[in-house]
């Protein structure tokens, strides 16, 4: 515990057998009360290794996607009584050694959420981030900051932490089951008036680290632009006739659900 707050680490896993143990070994057991892994129908030995390491393990009976995996993770963490939930990918792209610092930023009520930014500092390219991903990250982040009215250095990191209040109050079930879940969640956090803090995170790209292909990256990019657009329209009080009948103005909490029902 940190400041009497229960800290639970969640790991959304898919074919992470080669890197899971290394990730697990770098998690500080002095600060973390429980670790929960959700295996998204992996084809390798991820779930067997997780159980061998005595990690609380949940196994999907089908692949539910990155966002769908996170939804299961957060439900499990809340059921376990978590006050603070830190998500770290078991592919070892992000160092778990930052978990105590991230949890502390929330445990003393400084922030409602914390993200570990690869773009805070100058280490992203040195850490192996492909140039096209670096440029895309910079462009999308600048676009989002402009339309959301915020100043984050990155919206696309998978290393992030949340308080129990956020996870209980946001309509996360309405969000995407795909990679856009991350972006929608951050937009919802800002929409509902919560505070997000950042911490600098070293970048590590290597063969075993997970990464989405170019086509899915392109789809993700357009989804990011769409979410940013409806966020800004909603804040401006624009009527929603072009998007949805029956609303006087756009509401991101309901518009996300509408978008995924239509797509």
Q: Does residue 231 register a pLDDT over 50? A: yes
What rounded mean pLDDT belongs to the chain? 92
Q: Does residue 157 register a pLDDT over 80? A: yes
In a domain, 79, yes or no: yes
Task: Identify the pLDDT of residue 204.
Answer: 83
Q: What is the pLDDT of residues 99-148, one digit of tens each?
A: 999 999 999 999 999 999 999 988 899 888 889 999 999 999 999 999 99
Task: Identify the pLDDT of residue 9.
Answer: 98
In a domain, 128, yes or no: yes
In a domain, 22, yes or no: yes
In a domain, 45, yes or no: yes
In a domain, 145, yes or no: yes
Which residue segment(s) compose the domain that 72 sits in?
Answer: 7-212
Q: What is the pLDDT of residues 18-37, one digit of tens each?
A: 999 999 999 999 999 999 99
Tally of domains within the chain? 1
> pLDDT > 70: what percent of the chain?
93
Task: Identify the pLDDT of residue 234.
Answer: 87
What is the rounded (10 degree) CA torsion for 238, 242, 248, 254?
Answer: -100
> Which domain CATH number covers 73?
3.90.550.10
Q: In sequence order, what DSSP letters do the residues of 109-156 get, joined into one string?
A: TS-SEEEEESSSSS-TTTTT--HHHHHHHHHHHHHHHHHHT---S-S-
Task: Identify the pLDDT of residue 263.
Answer: 67
Q: Does residue 240 register a pLDDT over 70? A: no
What tokens appear for 222 in the block?
Answer: 């357009």
> pLDDT > 90: what percent of the chain?
76
Task: Identify the pLDDT of residue 245.
Answer: 46
List strand residue ranges (DSSP E) for the chain, in order: 7-13, 34-39, 56-59, 84-87, 113-117, 160-163, 196-200
Q: Does residue 206 register a pLDDT over 60? A: yes
The answer to whether the CB of 196 falls within 8 A of the CB of 114 is yes
Q: What is the pLDDT of residues 38-86, one digit of tens each?
A: 999 999 999 999 999 999 999 999 999 999 999 999 999 999 999 999 9
- Reported as a pLDDT band with limits 50, 70 and 90, residue 175 is very high
- Reported as a pLDDT band with limits 50, 70 and 90, residue 164 is very high
Sheet holding 34-39, edge to edge: 56-59, 34-39, 7-13, 84-87, 160-163, 113-117, 196-200
Phi, psi (degrees; rounded to nearest 5) at 224: -60, -45
Residue with the bigger pLDDT between 43 and 215: it is 43
Q: Does residue 208 register a pLDDT over 80? A: no
In a domain, 161, yes or no: yes
In a domain, 217, yes or no: no
In a domain, 253, yes or no: no
């Amino acid at each position: 515990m940190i400041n009497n707050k229960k800290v639970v680490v969640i790991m959304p896993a898919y074919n992470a057998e080669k890197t899971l143990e290394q990730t697990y070994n770098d998690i500080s057991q002095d600060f973390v009360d429980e670790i929960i892994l959700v295996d998204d129908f992996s084809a390798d030995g991820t779930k067997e290794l997780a159980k061998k390491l005595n990690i609380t393990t949940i196994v999907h009976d089908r692949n539910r996607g990155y966002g769908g995996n996170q939804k299961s993770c957060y439900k499990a963490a809340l059921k376990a009584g978590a006050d603070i939930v830190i998500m770290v990918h078991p592919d070892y792209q992000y160092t778990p050694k930052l978990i105590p610092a991230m949890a502390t930023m929330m445990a003393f009520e400084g922030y409602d959420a914390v993200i570990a930014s690869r773009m805070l500092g100058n280490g992203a390219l040195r850490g192996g981030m492909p140039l096209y991903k670096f440029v895309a990250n910079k462009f999308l982040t600048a676009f989002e900051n402009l339309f959301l009215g915020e100043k984050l250095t990155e919206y696309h990191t998978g290393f992030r932490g949340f308080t129990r209040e956020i996870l209980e109050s946001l309509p996360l079930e309405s969000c995407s089951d795909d990679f856009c879940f991350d972006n929608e969640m951050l937009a919802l956090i800002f929409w509902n008036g919560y505070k997000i803090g950042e911490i600098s995170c070293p970048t590590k790209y290597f063969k075993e680290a997970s990464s989405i292909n170019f086509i899915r990256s392109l789809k993700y990019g357009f989804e990011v632009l769409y979410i940013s657009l409806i966020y800004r329209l909603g804040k401006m009080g624009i009527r929603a006739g072009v998007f949805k009948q029956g609303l006087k103005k756009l509401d991101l909490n309901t518009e996300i659900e509408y978008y995924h029902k239509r797509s």
